[in-house]
């Protein structure tokens, strides 16, 4: 009875994560039922919605009630938008849906951030009260909900799913799901629910009514993706983070500057291995169930420019921001009132969280220059609008990652780099060069810039990035004795870091051929090899489990 209570109750340490044995037991049980009912589409949707809600409950507890409310709300709003699409009433329903979804996201994710900024700016002492918890405790009994506002795991992901669903209905790209469970299944589908990839309704909902198919190659490929994801997460992310990155970045003053520098490059490997490892497993698990999730990473550290990097990194988020923010703002073609309004809003927001009055002086000067160029240089109008839209999109993308001044700065730096690259590529003599040295140099520069910006991504407090850079530049101390001591302490970690980057840079054709070779093995041999590899990985990192980085987003 105690074990049954543990299974069907929420305990944070017992979350159903891809790296835990409990998840795979859960998945085997789900597949056992799925095989029996897969031909009955409605029953299949109801079943998978139910197990997905259970999966979310095991990960986030009572926040499953919030998810359930948002499902019902957005399903009804979707029907209303579909019935009135093209009419003014339809737009009103769409706006209502967007406002409620964004309100939920901002309430749970940014309430403390804005309250603290407001108190700092105006000398007040307001406290955040979780009104939903107050109501919940009145209805379900005192202590049912925590008074503090906690961020529901995956809130950014399922909010973006809901928003894209409503907008696509309004744009007549899809029809509203007539069956509630088809819509609920799309949003809650457990492989992508809590950390992506972000899935479009137009890509997923049509699959719900398709017959289940799984070829021998599909099975082999799915097994390979799951194994690759576990390898990335357990070895190249968790092991390196626990035994090197966290030690150095939590106390950079205790190490020479060059060690801190290596730690940041290692962090670039860690966050890629962590997030792409999760999505690899999500894609593999989904393939075993007969559903296709789109690729989310395409060897991003092979990128030869910042623009190329953002075409390869977290592709589902990049394309979402492009289609639902950048293009509606006018993209690279024209301006809109949205561009002007969001520019002012973002500058006001930056002033609000920093208190830097210099922002308004800078903005005034830039605005004057901007208006003069707009008036006397026609070509500038297109460039200026494109640049502003890019900056807005990347800053919003930074803020999506978290309620932090550092995330905004990180987004702004990447947006500025994209703007500058758009001009540089017009005059660069190396833009179309295929010479191996030029390509290697461009890859190195891109990786170095991305790693530099991630100082603001990794370190949470506003003053920490500059302190970290001070340690790197003033305590470099590159001597043979120091280097040998560092190598002795971290040699296995350094070997893993090099192996991680080298394996990432291998030609894609080699990787595809490896999967093809694996797919030709007899299934019993595949299963034994897979089981042995997993056993070895868990033995190597049995004491180094870390939550997935993107769960916080």
How high is the pLDDT of residue 487?
86
184 vs 179: CA distance, rounded Å? 9
Render each residue's pLDDT in the chain as its tens digit; 553 residues. 554 445 555 555 556 788 888 888 899 999 999 999 999 999 999 999 999 999 999 888 888 888 999 999 999 999 999 988 778 888 899 999 999 999 988 888 887 777 777 777 777 877 777 766 667 667 766 666 666 677 788 888 889 999 999 999 999 888 998 889 999 999 999 999 887 788 888 889 889 989 999 999 999 999 999 999 999 999 899 899 998 999 998 888 888 888 999 999 999 999 999 999 999 999 999 999 999 998 899 999 999 999 999 999 999 989 998 888 888 877 666 666 677 777 777 777 666 666 666 656 666 676 677 667 767 777 666 677 788 888 888 888 888 887 778 888 898 899 889 988 988 888 888 888 888 899 999 999 999 999 999 999 998 888 889 888 888 888 777 777 777 888 888 999 999 999 999 999 999 999 999 999 999 999 889 989 988 888 888 877 656 667 777 666 6
CA distance 331 to 343: 14
Nearest CA to 185 out of 98, 262, 286 is that of 286
Is residue 189 within 8 A of residue 293, CB to CB? The reply is no
Quote the DSSP letter at residue 106: H
Angle between helices 41-60 and 21-37 (to 10 degrees): 170
pTM of structure = 0.89
Helix (H, G, I), strand (E, B) or coil at 17: coil
Supply the pLDDT for residue 93: 93
Task: Find the largest Cα–Cα distance for the chain.
Answer: 79
Alpha helices in 293-404 (DSSP H): 306-312, 315-321, 337-354, 358-376, 378-401
Q: Any catalytic annotation for residue 401?
A: yes
Residue 134, pLDDT score? 67
Please give the Cα distance from 438 to 435 (Å, whole number): 5
Cα–Cα distance, 517 to 526 (Å, whole number): 11
Residue with tokens 């993209």: 331
Catalytic residue among 161, 192, 314, 401: 401
- For residue 197, cis peptide bond before it (omega within 30 degrees of 0): yes
pLDDT attached to residue 5 = 45
Length of the chain: 553
**Residue boundaries of the structural domains of the chain:** 12-212, 214-297+479-553, 302-475
Contact 405, 353 (CB under 8 A): yes
Q: What is the DSSP string of 260-311?
A: HHHHHHHHHHHHHHHHHHHHHHHHHHHHHTT-------S-GGG-SSHHHHHH
How open is the CA angle 514-216-235, to the nearest 5 degrees? 45
Q: Is residue 195 within 8 Å of residue 154, measured between CB atoms?
A: yes
Say how far apart CA 497 and CA 265 lie, in whole Å: 9
CB atoms within 10 A of CB 6: 12
- Confidence (pLDDT) at 111: 79
Instruction: Report the candidate in 283, 233, 232 with the shortest Cα–Cα distance to residue 548.
Output: 233
Cα 253 from Cα 467, distance rounded (Å): 9
Q: What is the pLDDT, as a whole number, of residue 4?
A: 44
530/208 Cα distance (integer angstroms): 29
DSSP string, 453-481: HHHHHH--STTHHHHHHHHHHH-----HH
Q: What is the spatial distance between Cα 193 and Cα 191, in angstroms, rounded to a whole number?
A: 6
Segment 366-413, tens digit of pLDDT: 667 766 776 777 766 667 778 888 888 888 888 888 777 888 889 889
Q: Which residue has the tokens 């990097």?
A: 309
């Amino acid at each position: 009875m105690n074990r049954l209570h543990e299974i069907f109750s929420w305990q944070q340490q017992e979350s159903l994560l891809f790296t835990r044995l409990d998840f795979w037991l859960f998945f085997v049980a789900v597949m056992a039922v799925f095989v029996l009912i897969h031909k009955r589409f409605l029953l299949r949707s109801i079943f998978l919605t139910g197990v997905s809600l259970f999966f979310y409950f095991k990960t986030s507890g009572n926040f499953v009630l919030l998810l359930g409310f948002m499902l019902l709300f957005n399903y009804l709003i979707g029907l209303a938008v579909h019935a009135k699409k093209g009419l003014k009433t339809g737009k009103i329903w769409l706006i209502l849906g967007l406002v409620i979804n964004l309100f939920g996201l901002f309430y749970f994710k940014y309430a403390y951030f804005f309250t603290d900024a407001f108190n700092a700016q105006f000398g007040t002492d307001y406290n955040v009260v979780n009104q939903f918890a107050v109501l919940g405790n009145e209805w379900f009994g005192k202590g049912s909900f925590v008074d503090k506002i906690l961020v529901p795991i995956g809130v950014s992901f399922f909010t973006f799913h809901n928003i894209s669903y409503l907008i696509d209905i309004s744009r007549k790209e899809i029809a509203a799901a007539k069956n509630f469970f088809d819509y609920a299944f799309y949003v809650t589908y457990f492989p992508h629910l809590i950390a992506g990839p972000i899935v479009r309704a137009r890509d997923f909902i049509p699959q719900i009514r398709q017959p289940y198919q799984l070829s021998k190659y599909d099975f082999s490929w799915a097994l390979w993706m799951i194994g690759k994801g576990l390898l990335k997460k357990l070895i190249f992310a968790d092991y390196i983070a626990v035994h090197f990155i966290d030690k150095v970045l939590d106390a950079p003053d205790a190490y020479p500057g060059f060690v801190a520098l290596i730690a940041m490059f290692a962090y670039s490997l860690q966050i890629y291995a962590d997030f792409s490892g999760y999505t690899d497993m999500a894609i593999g698990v989904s393939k075993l169930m007969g559903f296709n999730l789109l690729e989310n990473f395409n060897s991003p550290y092979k990128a030869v420019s910042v623009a190329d990097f953002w075409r390869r990194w977290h592709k589902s988020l990049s394309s979402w921001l492009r289609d639902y923010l950048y293009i509606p703002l006018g993209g690279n073609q024209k301006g809109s009132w949205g561009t002007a309004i969001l520019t002012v809003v973002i500058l006001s927001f930056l002033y609000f969280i920093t208190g830097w009055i210099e922002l308004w002086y800078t903005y005034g000067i830039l605005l004057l220059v901007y208006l003069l160029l707009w008036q006397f240089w026609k070509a500038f109008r297109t460039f200026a609008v494109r640049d502003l839209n890019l900056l807005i999109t990347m800053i919003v993308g930074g803020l999506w990652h978290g309620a932090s001044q550092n995330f905004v700065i990180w987004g702004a730096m990447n947006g500025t780099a994209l703007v500058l690259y758009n001009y540089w590529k017009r005059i660069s003599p190396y833009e179309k060069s295929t010479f191996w040295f030029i390509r290697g140099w461009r890859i190195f520069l891109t990786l170095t810039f991305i790693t530099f910006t991630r100082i603001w991504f990794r370190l949470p407090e506003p003053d920490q990035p500059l302190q970290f850079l001070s340690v790197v530049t003033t305590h470099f101390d590159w001597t043979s004795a120091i280097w040998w001591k560092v190598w002795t302490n971290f040699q296995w970690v350094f070997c893993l870091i090099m192996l991680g980057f080298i394996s990432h840079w291998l030609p894609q054709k080699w990787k595809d051929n490896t999967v093809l070779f694996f797919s030709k093995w007899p299934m019993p041999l595949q299963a034994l090899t897979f089981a042995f590899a997993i056993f070895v990985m868990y033995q190597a990192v049995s004491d180094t489990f870390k939550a997935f980085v993107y769960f916080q987003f």
